[in-house]
Amino acid sequence: MGFFNRFKNAKSWYEKGVSFEKLENYKEALECYNNSLGLDSKYLEAWQGKGWVLFCLKEYEDALKSYDTALKLKLDDITTLACKGTILKFLKRDDESREYYERVLKLNPESSVEWLNKGPAFEEFKRYEEALECY
């Protein structure tokens, strides 16, 4: 029996994936998240982890699909909304990213990170007053 065979539940695989992710060992993290989801396809945090690892591996469309699946599980999850907004911003899909940041801010108006992320999106469209308001 190999080392990984001792992980028999979704949470254990998820936690192992987090460990690999912290080490920036993204391929192993992805394998662990997939194993976790194979045992529990409704494990929100595993979908989030998988999405972020796929982003780090530059598999952007697959990352967005992971976050879409996470949003089906919990429509108003701030972490999922923020991460999807960040990926969309990275892909220069600013209108879409701004929508996700606005959803986060409706749920948590005190989220300074989302205000900072939303500002540059307004700047790109030369909407400087709105960008300044965000900052």
At a CB cut-off of 8 Å and minimum separation 6, what does 19 contact?
A: 29
Which pLDDT band, with edges at 50, 70 and 90, does 1 fall under? very low
pTM, to two decimals: 0.77
What's the total number of domains in the chain? 2
Q: Which of 27, 60, 75 is the last residue of a domain?
A: 75
Report yes or no on 110 lying in a domain. yes
Token pair, residue 37, equals 């989801």
What is the pLDDT at residue 6? 53
pLDDT in tens, 2-47: 455 555 799 999 999 999 999 999 999 999 999 999 999 999 999 9
pLDDT in tens, 63-95: 999 999 999 999 999 889 988 998 998 899 988
Q: Is residue 68 located within the same domain as residue 80?
A: no
Report yes or no on 43 lying in a domain. yes
